[in-house]
Amino acid sequence: MSTENTLVIVMKPDASVGQIANVTARVQQIGARVHLSEGEEQTIIGVIGNGSPINCEQIQSLAGVERTVPITRPFKLASREFHPQDTVVPVNGLQVGGRRLTVMAGPCAVESREQILETARIVKAAGGHALRGGAFKPRTSPYSFQGMGEKGLRLLAEARQVTGLPIITEVISPEHVPLVTTYADILQIGARNMQNYALLHAVGAAQRPVMLKRGMMSTIEELLMAAEYILSHGNERVILCERGIRTFEKYTRNTLDISAVPLLKQLSHLPVIVDPSHATGSWELVIPVARAAIAAGADGIIVEVHPNPAEALSDGAQSLKPERFTELMASLDAIATAVGRTL
């Protein structure tokens, strides 16, 4: 893909004429055009690339350079400039990113046949569109429940057969991608793996839509660069997910970055889903935050629902009981209408 790379080089106030000439020569060597702006106190050098990448790090280490300021956004395939129309990702009958919102719901982890089938029925009955459930769980502690593995995947497939709901489940290792692809309708990349590039390559080569969650301390630019990895490996069916970032606030598990929703829609053509359960860590906050997400322009939400949160093997505190999920769906319906969408 040919693209311009534009940057600004800020020279130190005491940079010598020779240093400025040296930097200019270096930039011209790689075929870029140079525009000198000489002030009385400081010289700045505008660089317009010709398609070859410009290595800021190299330039920054040249004598006399104070800093470099990249101008061009580093993502291409993920950017709206590159692809002005909204991308709609087809998922087994569902359209993620269209006028109709997508609600994905289910337990944090698949725990048993009864649990997942019961939850699937609840989700279906309340009007949810897809079933979530983890079979491979990335857990902070090696002593915590790590998921049911392939057995969990089979139970998810059974729940899909019973309810017709497409399923979304997390894949945590490149070697599991073929296995998970066999069962799942959407491959989920979790927040902790947003920059696991080997995994991004693997799902980039897979024949399934991918939902990519923002890392809890990743910038919006890094999220779009991670999407770029998947897109550049040939998979165009990428769904972005905002799930809260890590801040100093302690009352909530994370801080949902609500502005990220309209910003991602502005910068990118990819659909944006919000996860209010992980963002807040508390079921009492899920409904108002889910409403806010839809009001801000999200294409849908993914929430944790458990038939009995007090028995959940993980994340019970942030799971909705069935009746609260039904309440959420009703409540979202009104907001959807208010912003010109449907549920």
Write out the binding residues for a second copy, residues 195-214 only, by CB under 8 A. 195-198
Q: If binding is defined by CB under 8 A, does position 99 make contact with a second copy?
A: no
CB-wise, 48 or 92, nearer to a second copy? 48
Tell me the closest approach of the beta carbon of residue 161 to a second copy, in angstroms.
Answer: 29
Q: With binding defined as CB under 8 A, does residue 19 bind a second copy?
A: no
Return the number of the residue (161 or 337) whose C-beta is nearest a second copy.
337
Pick out residues in 45-74 that bind a second copy (CB under 8 A): 46, 48-49, 53, 55-62, 69, 71-72, 74
Q: Which is nearer to a second copy, 94 or 264 (CB)?
A: 264
Q: Which of residues 178-197 bind a second copy (CB under 8 A)?
A: 192-193, 195-197
* C-beta separation of 304 from 108 below 8 A: yes
Task: Name residues contacting a second copy, limited to 302-321 (CB under 8 A).
Answer: 309-319
Q: Do 264 and 240 meet the contact criterion of CB atoms below 8 Å apart?
A: yes
> Rounded to an integer, what distance in angstroms lies between the CA atom of residue 226 and that of residue 241?
12
* Alpha-carbon span 84 to 224, nearest angstrom: 15
Question: How would DSSP label each residue in 197-220?
Answer: HHHHHHHHSSSS-EEEEPPTT--H
| Least distance CB 164 / a second copy (angstroms) | 29
Among 280, 322, 324, 341, binds a second copy (CB under 8 A): 280
DSSP strand pairing (238-242 vs 272-274): parallel
Beta carbon of residue 162, minimum distance to a second copy (angstroms, whole number): 26
Pairing of the two strands 6-11 and 43-48:
antiparallel
Residues 303/241, Cβ–Cβ less than 8 Å: no
